[in-house]
Structure 1
Amino acid sequence: MKFVKSLVTASFLTTLAFDAQALVTSQEASELGARLTMVGAEKAGNADGSIPAYSGGLTTAPTGFKTGDSMRPDPYAGEKPLLVINGKNVDQYKSMLTETTVTLAKRFPDYRIDVYPTHRTASLPQAVLDNSRKNATDARSLNGGLAFDNVLPGVPFPIPQSGAEAMWNFLLRYQGVNTRSKYDSWSVDSAGVPSLAVTGEAFVSFPIYENMSKPINNSDIYYQLKLSYTGPARRAGESIMLKNATNPLQRPGRAWQYMPAQRRVKQISILAYDTPNPGTARALELYDWTLVGKKEMIVPYNTYKLTYARDAKSLTTPNFISPDFVRWEKHRVYVVEGNLKPGAKHIYQKRRFYLDEDTWAAVASDQFDTRGQLYRGSFAFLSQSYDEQVPDATPFMTYDLSLGTYNINGVVGPHGGIHYIQPLSTAQWVPESMAGAGVR
């Protein structure tokens, strides 16, 4: 993959700096906490009751959970599917499925979607909710949606007026403050053979949430990722660091890599922009974003069985992830499309994201190539960390529909789950720290 960053002239930046999006009205904002939740989701259920009303989310741990444990039991383990969708009946439900899901169902006779009862489990800390409510009337979009002003840590635009605002909700959503997990990444080739791509340790930090009363500066780092690979042997000792700031025009996303054979840290751009993970759509400046609307869709949700699966290899079957581990539910999602700007270059000509209304997580995405053909499809596996009030989407996967391969990343079950930790020191978030951590 190759990324060539488009040039933006100084006069263009000056013009955009005064392009401020109008705020929502006080009357519109008064819906938050009434008809809408504080993050903008509809409180009411849907017409046929298949999506229930929101009642505060899942805040009580199920029987068997031990306080402080990083492995979280499935509170819905005893439930059975209400509906099974496969290639024979997929056309009946395709309006509620991503293009990738429909393609897989039609391509593989044994692919299936097990649809379970819907549970709106999302729960967030009160400070996040309060700040989101304030943001509704105070936050302002700048630079054609590429930046913002007067935003507190929380959902910046709970009543989004544009596709860019919806994408900022996704990028800045609450995912905890600091996490650590050891994980596996598995790849399955076109012959259906699984192989361990990497085993690593990941530290993820969202610095903007360390002080809930401090407004977010439009050049603050909002996301940091530090990976250290421990296996397989050919990858052991490698490490990667990513940093993303809130104004990509002023402070573009940056990435560094350490290779033990070279014994040096080098800055790279490819990881900050081209990774297919639905949670890494950070090249906002390359696309024109459209808020298509909201719709009811069947998506992976409350995927405790997958997230905390102890045998990672058992998740992999030829052609697709094992349906036995994937729980699907009907939820309302915002549909946002990004079309590549004229003159910009990226492996995806168009990207379509499906953002969960209760968490703003991208639970799925479809990616299209330069010919407009469906190229890749991604899914994030969302589960509520009920002991921490964190909607988590650590595991994610990507299907390459042109090559017939797929990858699943962030498989934490075999290594003890997801840990919520104290922040790393500042010294551990500088590129120079990677060389020491990457010694075999």
Structure 2
Amino acid sequence: MHRKHILAALIGSLAFVSQAGASVSADEAAKLKTTLTPLGAERAANKEGTIPAWDGGLTKTPAGYKPGDARPDPFPGEKPLLSINAKNMDQHAAKLSDGVKALMKKYPDFRIDVYPTHRTAAAPQYVYDNTFKNATRAKLVDNGHGTEGAYGGTPFPIPKDGYEVFQNHRLAWTGTYVQAPVRVWVVTADGRRAMASGGTQSFRRQYYDPEGSLEKFDGYYALGKFAVSEPGSKAGEAILAHDNLNASNPRGLWQYLVGQRRVRKAPSVAYDTPDSVTSGIGLFDEAFNLFGPIDKHNLKLVGKRELYIPYNNNRAASAKVADLVTPNTLNPSLVRWELHRVWEVEATLAEGKRHVVPKRKYYIDEDSWQIILFDGWDAKGELWRTNYTLTLLAPDIPALVGNMFWGGYDLQTGAYYLNMASNELSAQYKPLATLPRSFFSPEELANEGAR
């Protein structure tokens, strides 16, 4: 390695070490009970009043709601405050991501309808209590790609760098044991819509088990399984993932392929491998807006800004597929956008690493710690990809859910997709009393395939 590269790497590692061992002081943590929300967002409104103060989020379950029902639009009577498109986007450029501006330039009919902002994100009290504990005990390990000393809450509610923000996203509250029937819709450049995959998505977020504790936790914060049932050519396939808090511990990934009639380890389900679930339009590390390791990039915390982002999109989550998944883009009339404060994190390719998307910008909602939008540039420095989550509001959990109804646009080919969508299906993102760990074992995956 060239001397200047060695020096740069050394300086970078020393900078990281100086932060990795530093935890938030008790005085700083006390802000979580005063000027900050229990998860670390600014509690106050912005000075213009266009972003209101957080008042606890939305935790009231709609009348007559039953688990698994499609959750109604919590603000059905509201009208957009403004609409932004290619003609007037320059007036609002400071509050638009690069990807959104690119979509406006590419498609004259694309717009975003901006509604009044509602800070609906919420979590159970035990999540708030654990977040307060984590603030003074959690620390980064594995060169920033792992966490120790955290359980049952946001690990770094008062973040100091981009690595802490990313760990907050990985451990964002979206429920504990959850299951949903889903479909993946892809749209080609010529406007044709097709179902790429359909089946059942299951999550076991055991990091948030209220009966667990830091002392008993084994480090595997999330177990996930996608069992495919349609179309017929893919029926029986499955992907299983075991994700650990620490990058030094093995990440479990398995696939069941009907043609091979066996479960096999799947290390390629990561990084910039084209995602088979989306017919290759997306990449595996774009799944759920962040899936698997991201150690090929360096992360820089740019700061906090106000941005128009998709938010409280229960109406879109209940729409008919033909109405929502339209040529070129999702139907602008069905997607709700709001002004929120977000953390901006820039990811740039690390020295000596390879990735087809060498630069990305991520925008993380301050209230829920979830990536809501991110953009990606190719090796020529041209904007290539823009990804989103529509955010489903689930006051029954309570949670603002970003790991459903997400997708991405290929700005160069014109194709796009909507993943983990339950539109027109029998149930929506449904919390369960439990999903046993054995349900997420490779052995059970094999048994299901044999049946």
- Give the C-alpha shift of residue 347 in structure 1: 2.4
Percent sequence identity over matched residues?
Answer: 36
Distance 2:192 2:259 in 1: 29
Task: Normalising by structure 2, report the TM-score.
Answer: 0.89
**What residue in structure 2 maps to residue 319 of structure 1?**
328
Retained in 2: the 8 A contact 1:147–1:218? no
- Give the C-alpha shift of residue 281 in structure 1: 4.1
Task: Normalising by structure 1, report the TM-score.
Answer: 0.91
Alignment of 1:39-438 (within 5 A): 39-63=39-63, 65-211=64-210, 214-215=213-214, 220-251=219-250, 253-274=251-272, 275=284, 276-309=286-319, 311-393=320-402, 394-415=404-425, 416-438=427-449
- Give the C-alpha shift of residue 278 in structure 1: 4.8
Structure 1 residues not aligned, in runs of 5+: 1-12
Counterpart amino acid of residue 306 in structure 1: A
Counterpart amino acid of residue 327 in structure 1: R
Counterpart amino acid of residue 395 in structure 2: Y
Distance 2:346 2:216 in 1: 26
Comparing 212-221 and 399-408, the one that deviates more = 212-221
What per-residue deviation string (whole Å, max 9, x for no partner) do you get for residues 182-216 of structure 1? 01111000111111111111111111112465117
Distance 1:387 1:259 in 2: 36
What per-residue deviation string (whole Å, max 9, x for no partner) do you get for residues 163-190 of structure 1? 1001000101111011110011110001
Distance 1:68 1:428 in 2: 21
What per-residue deviation string (whole Å, max 9, x for no partner) do you get for residues 370-421 of structure 1? 2222111110111221111122121101001121100101111311211111
Distance 1:20 1:192 in 2: 48
Distance 1:212 1:140, change over 3 A: farther
Distance 1:211 1:66, change over 3 A: closer
Counterpart amino acid of residue 254 in structure 1: G
SS of residue paired to 2:269: helix
SS of residue paired to 2:165: helix
SS of residue paired to 1:153: coil
Retained in 2: the 8 A contact 1:294–1:335? yes
Retained in 2: the 8 A contact 1:189–1:404? yes
Counterpart amino acid of residue 383 in structure 1: L
Retained in 2: the 8 A contact 1:135–1:151? yes
What per-residue deviation string (whole Å, max 9, x for no partner) do you get for residues 143-175 of structure 1? 332222221220000000111001000101111
Retained in 2: the 8 A contact 1:278–1:365? no
Counterpart amino acid of residue 88 in structure 2: N
- Give the C-alpha shift of residue 225 in structure 1: 1.3
Alignment of 1:13-24 (within 5 A): 20-24=20-24
Distance 2:80 2:180 in 1: 30
Structure 2 residues not aligned, in runs of 5+: 1-12, 273-283
- Give the C-alpha shift of residue 277 in structure 1: 2.8
- Give the C-alpha shift of residue 263 in structure 1: 0.6
Distance 1:82 1:17 in 2: 46
Coordinate RMSD, CA, aligned: 2.0
Comparing 214-223 and 351-360, the one that deviates more = 214-223
Comparing 126-135 and 384-393, the one that deviates more = 384-393
Distance 1:336 1:168, change over 3 A: same
Distance 1:113 1:129, change over 3 A: same
What per-residue deviation string (whole Å, max 9, x for no partner) do you get for residues 31-79 of structure 1? 111011111100111111110011001111344x424353211111111
Comparing 371-380 and 66-75, the one that deviates more = 66-75
Distance 1:25 1:314, change over 3 A: same
Distance 1:151 1:56 in 2: 23
Distance 1:350 1:278, change over 3 A: farther
SS of residue paired to 2:109: coil
